Amino acid sequence: MEESTALRETPLFRGLSPAQIEKMIGISRELTFGPNQLIMAEGETGDAMYVLRHGTVEIVKSLVLSGLDEVPPEQSKTFTRLSAENGEAVFGEIALLEEAKRTATVSTVTECRVNEIRKGDFLKLAEKDFELGYRVLLNLAGIVSSRLRRADEDIIKLTTVLSIVLKD
Amino acid sequence: MEESTALRETPLFRGLSPAQIEKMIGISRELTFGPNQLIMAEGETGDAMYVLRHGTVEIVKSLVLSGLDEVPPEQSKTFTRLSAENGEAVFGEIALLEEAKRTATVSTVTECRVNEIRKGDFLKLAEKDFELGYRVLLNLAGIVSSRLRRADEDIIKLTTVLSIVLKD
């Protein structure tokens, strides 16, 4: 019960009944990692998403094509920390939609406990409980859509800077 | 019947039964536009998506912040044409997920016939038919997710170019 209360706070499970959250827990695998361990690597193909239940992870994302060695690594990557406490503790969730390459590397900072949910298991469950599938996807699509909006804004800013720089 | 056959080909309705496609038609409003008419304007708040049933539209998207008048308009925008014939004829679909500002301007090139589907009507229908809601959202989330992946790739390319340019 304590488990499902914590999971209900994750944005991905908003609107699910306690019974539906239990079903999501039922298809998930609980994993424990020590500090400084790799959970997923950028460029790998992933078919699972993760809910961070305990601990802090660091998300590292390349900003510059690799092999460009004149750019120091700390200027060519973004670093974000995610803690189980902040209620937005979901990562790798695009893997529920398509088997795409991971766009970030995620490693543990502290000891972490995560629930791993695989795409195939989620789709099988959703085909049996369409309401659950609908509500999870509504939340997931909202998360992806707001990220797309932010990415579009970043592209406009970058192209603007580039236009100014190239004029000089 | 001819209507639902054409709509079944749009990627957003993949997996829907003919009866479910009829329901989607039932909540949509059929609109006809002459050539060179505005369907939606960038920056406006939208709460409807469109399925292009007949004709060709042009999608214009800003790449550079407005007010930067040293950049000629043809270099600061992208132009894409969408025809009813190519089966990917859906636009404004993010409005089904959130009431966000339109990120592109869409105008007709030829005479066009479109089906307009409003967010509120879709959500009401999905709450009555979760299978329909699940299948539409699975398709929609896949479309948005692959766009996010492309946007992320563009950001990496732009940041790389900018790093190279700023080094010189």
Residue B167 touches chain A, beta carbons under 8 Å: yes
The SS3 of residue A102 is coil
Structure tokens at B43: 């920056």
C-alpha B8/C-alpha B23 separation (Å) is 12
Chain A interface, best mutation among B134, B153, B168, by max A CB count within 10 A: B134
Q: Which residue, B48, B146, B31, is CA-closest to B96?
A: B48
Give me the residues of B, 117-156, that contact A with CB < 8 A. 126, 130-131, 133-134, 137-138, 140-142, 144-149, 151-152, 154-156
Comparing B114 with A168, the larger pLDDT belongs to B114
The structure's pTM equals 0.84
- Cα-atom radius of gyration of chain A, to the nearest Å? 18
C-alpha B27/C-alpha B125 separation (Å) is 8
Q: Which residue has the tokens 């974000």?
A: A80
Q: What pLDDT sits at residue A84? A: 86
Q: Helices (DSSP H) in chain B: which residue ranges? A: 2-8, 18-26, 119-128, 130-167
C-alpha A70/C-alpha B91 separation (Å) is 41
- Report chain B's mean pLDDT, rounded to a whole number: 86
Give how far B63 is from chain A: nearest CA, Å. 5
How many Cβ pairs within 8 Å bridge chains A and B? 132
* Residue B112 near residue B59 (C-beta atoms within 8 A): no
**pLDDT tens per residue, range B67-108:** 655 666 666 788 889 888 766 678 888 888 887 789 899 999
Inter-chain CB proximity B64 and A156 less than 8 Å: yes
How many CA atoms does the CB half-sphere of A124 hold within 13 Å? Answer: 10
C-alpha B163/C-alpha A96 separation (Å) is 33
* A12 interaction partners in chain B (CB closer than 8 Å): none
Structure tokens at B28: 């949509």
**pLDDT tens per residue, range A111-135:** 999 999 999 999 999 999 999 999 9
Inter-chain CB proximity A149 and B63 less than 8 Å: no
Give how far A62 is from chain B: nearest CA, Å. 7
C-alpha A2/C-alpha B7 separation (Å) is 46
Comparing A128 with B142, the larger pLDDT belongs to A128
- ipTM score of the complex? 0.83
Chain A interface, best mutation among B78, B127, B147, B160, by max A CB count within 10 A: B160
Q: What are phi and psi of B152, to 5 degrees?
A: -60, -40
- Cα-atom radius of gyration of chain B, to the nearest Å? 18
Q: In what order do the strands lie in the sheet with A38-40?
A: A38-40, A105-108, A56-62, A77-83
Q: What pLDDT sits at residue A2? A: 44
Which residues of chain A fall short of a pLDDT of 70?
1-8, 65-75, 86-88, 168
